[in-house]
A and B are shown apart, each in its own frame.
Chain A
Amino acid sequence: MAEPRTLFDKVWQSHVIAPQGEGTYLIYIDLHLIHEVTTPQAFEGLKLAGRKVHRPDATIAVADHNIPTSNRKAGIDDPESKLQVDTLERNVEEFGVPYFPVDSINQGIVHIIGPEQGLSQPGMTIVCGDSHTATHGALGALAFGIGTSEVEHVLATQTLIQAPAKNMLVEVNGTLAAGVSAKDVILAIIGKIGTAGGTGHVIEYAGSTFRAMSMEGRMTVCNMTIEAGARAGLVAPDETTFAYVKGRPYAPKGAAWEQALAYWRTLPSDPGAHYDKKAALDASDIAPHVSWGTNPEMVAPITGRVPDPAEIDDPLKRAAVERALQYMQLAPKTPLVEIPVERVFIGSCTNSRIEDLRAAAAIAKGRRVADGVRALVVPGSGLVKRQAEEEGLDRIFRAAGFEWREPGCSNCMSMNNDRAEHGERIASTSNRNFEGRQGPGAKTHLMGPAMAAAAAVTGRLADVRQLG
């Protein structure tokens, strides 16, 4: 009998073209997503070498990072942002790459639109010059972020030189309590295994908690896999996956759908497949989480406190926590629910899908954003925005004092104008709380969308379970 294989092994092996030196392989890439920030130097490289894009029909472009989220008709006022977007538009034109223009309903954050359009499918290899490409692993695709030189390599050859990753299994079983979201699951996992816990590995998420999770929730989990250091995250495709993909604009149709579906059903890991590393959590132990520090492993349940560096033995870890608390301007042992916020950001490729907006709106409904707090809701794509408006979510947010914006990356990384003021403290549904990530000196607390809405209406970090 053949050796049992993991989902990762299957996708990897079916994409190996040839060995490329010792321990490295040339692998084929099925889908290449590109955006304006990490591609100008890659296209420049192609031009200098007189190369073409090998497969424009497996490539798609969108501008998301630099795009204004209000008054779009006025165009981009920042000249550098404008140059980056103009450069992308010139390049896609010159190289014949399909593109979702800024004024199209299909525009949005690259990792939102891939699954939403049915472009991201099970069993594919998907890359993008962006670390959160891991998001697409929710569909059972091997999806990972690459650097600009690799973007150029994929554009020119539709291949990459890679060493195979190791397999890691993260199993979560049980039912999540009310008020606990997919974001809390991934924050709890990162808190447990650490920001380097998955380095060199691809993480497969398994167990009844993920089986019961919606595709949106799985995407939130896979999105932040990179924050655990892993190259990619994967969830085995199942009926939930197939129902999600079916009928989307770029999904296979008719006979091709049947053929694809038959293939997708062969992908889940075989019983007894080998994993190099394992971790497990019990869903019933997971509470709503928030981050208190400056990397995503610095998290705690909302009922907890800021840690005390004096209680940490390892000198480098202690120094890191001291530095984090200094940057975050937090005293050791402060109860998390006593930390006031000045800004709230609901958006990003982690949490800007329709389900996220519904969860936040459910908390915002009938309440008011606290005095002195500025709260932004930025849908992940034009389609998400339209659906939210059809459901009346925009009216709920507006009535509660939230700003309702156009889709894009926005305050997640602040390349457009949605930057935090210097030193502002933000409750954010994004994925990174690094120093300066949301603006110079900005202090980020990561959390799920309902928790962020709860922070907006109370003016501090709050336990959403107490808002009912």
Chain B
Amino acid sequence: MEKFTQLTGVAAPLPMINVDTDKIYPAVYLKTIKRTGLAQWLFQEIRFKPDGSENPDFVLNQGPYRQAKIIVAGDNFGCGSSREHAPWALIDFGIRCVIAPSFADIFYNNCFKNGLLPIALPKEIIDELMEDAKKGANAVMTIDLESQTISRPDGEKVQFDIDPFRKHCLLNGLDDIGLTEQKGADIAAYESRARGSKPWLFGMTQADG
């Protein structure tokens, strides 16, 4: 996984609540067996008109926001389907950070597995950041993960919270599976206990009949 240490870029305002993962990445494009090249379908229904041309009203089609690296959005971002295609498409477009008052759980988890940083902040602060994000080419923010700060366009710093383990993994670009494999002995010990106490759970999917 790519490391996340510091990010400086334009923040795009998306003042919508309940942005679901079908909206971020429509179901019809879930047929891909790849995880790259998905930006072309990002926000398809609102980013493009039915004839395939760009919708000029959509923020990511406007001037400096075409290069946005950050999105500032409303409550409950990423609700709905578990599709990891949503963070994959955001990253493929160049978005590495989403800031919102709240996130849906599965989307939130999926972000961390892909080096995308979701930042949850109280609504009053989001309202201010949303105003910042409306400044077009001047909507530049810097996210510093080590110090857990967002530097607003005027230089003021906003502090954010993040789970220490997730922060550690992002900063170092650590692969979860590799980390878990280091706990192999613990897993084996758990399995041997479970084999004793819940034997019916072993061999299960092969034991029809």
Q: What is the interface of chain A, defined by CB distance below 8 A to chain B?
A: 17-18, 20-24, 26, 28, 30-31, 37-38, 40-41, 44, 49, 51, 56-60, 65-66, 78, 80-81, 83-84, 87, 98, 117, 119, 124, 129-131, 144-150, 152-153, 156-159, 161, 163, 195-196, 199-200, 226-227, 229, 231, 249-250, 252, 256-257, 259-260, 263, 295, 316-317, 319-320, 323, 413-415, 419, 422, 432, 434-437, 439-441
Query: Contact: A437 with B22, CB < 8 Å?
Result: yes
- 5 tightest A-B CB contacts, nearest first: A21-B165, A149-B113, A40-B33, A147-B110, A252-B200
From known contacts A49-B177, A250-B205, infer whether A196 and B79 are also in contact, taking CB-CB under 8 Å: yes
Which residues of chain B are within 8 angstroms of A26 by Cβ–Cβ distance?
180, 183, 186-187
Which residues of chain A are within 8 angstroms of B194 by Cβ–Cβ distance?
28
Cβ-neighbour of B82 out of A98, A129, A195 (below 8 A): A129
Q: What is the number of residues of chain B that contact chain A, defined by CB distance less than 8 Å?
A: 67
Chain A min CB distance to B208 (Å): 5
State A124–B200 Cα separation when bound (angstroms). Answer: 11
Q: What sequence of 0s and 1s flags, for each residue 80-95 of chain B, a beta carbon within 8 Å of any chain A beta carbon?
A: 1111100100000000
State A227–B104 Cα separation when bound (angstroms). Answer: 10
From known contacts A80-B31, A434-B23, infer whether A260 and B198 are also in contact, taking CB-CB under 8 Å: yes
Q: What sequence of 0s and 1s flags, for each residue 197-209 of chain B, a beta carbon within 8 Å of any chain A beta carbon?
A: 1111111111111
Cβ-neighbour of B27 out of A131, A199, A227, A413 (below 8 A): A413
State A222–B148 Cα separation when bound (angstroms). Answer: 37
Cβ-neighbour of A414 out of B27, B80, B165 (below 8 A): B27
Query: Contact: A147 with B113, CB < 8 Å?
Result: yes
A-B contact count (CB 8 A): 227
Query: Contact: A229 with B22, CB < 8 Å?
Result: no
Which residues of chain A are within 8 angstroms of B199 by Cβ–Cβ distance?
256, 259
Chain A min CB distance to B18 (Å): 5
State A153–B84 Cα separation when bound (angstroms). Answer: 14
Query: Contact: B180 with A157, CB < 8 Å?
Result: yes
From known contacts A158-B187, A199-B102, infer whether A415 and B177 are also in contact, taking CB-CB under 8 Å: no
Cβ-neighbour of A437 out of B27, B106, B110, B207 (below 8 A): B27
Chain A to chain B contacts (Cβ below 8 Å), 30 pairs: A28-B191, A31-B205, A37-B83, A38-B83, A44-B33, A51-B177, A57-B206, A80-B32, A119-B205, A129-B82, A129-B84, A131-B106, A147-B84, A148-B110, A157-B180, A157-B181, A159-B180, A159-B183, A161-B180, A259-B200, A260-B200, A263-B198, A316-B17, A316-B74, A320-B18, A323-B16, A422-B50, A432-B20, A432-B81, A436-B44
Query: Contact: A131 with B30, CB < 8 Å?
Result: no
From known contacts A316-B17, A434-B22, A436-B45, infer whether A17 and B187 are also in contact, taking CB-CB under 8 Å: yes
Q: Which residue of B lies closest to A19 (CB)?
A: B165
Query: Contact: B45 with A149, CB < 8 Å?
Result: no
Query: Contact: B202 with A57, CB < 8 Å?
Result: yes
Q: Which of B17-70 contact A (CB under 8 A)?
A: 17-18, 20, 22-23, 26-28, 30-35, 44-45, 50
Query: Contact: A196 with B22, CB < 8 Å?
Result: no
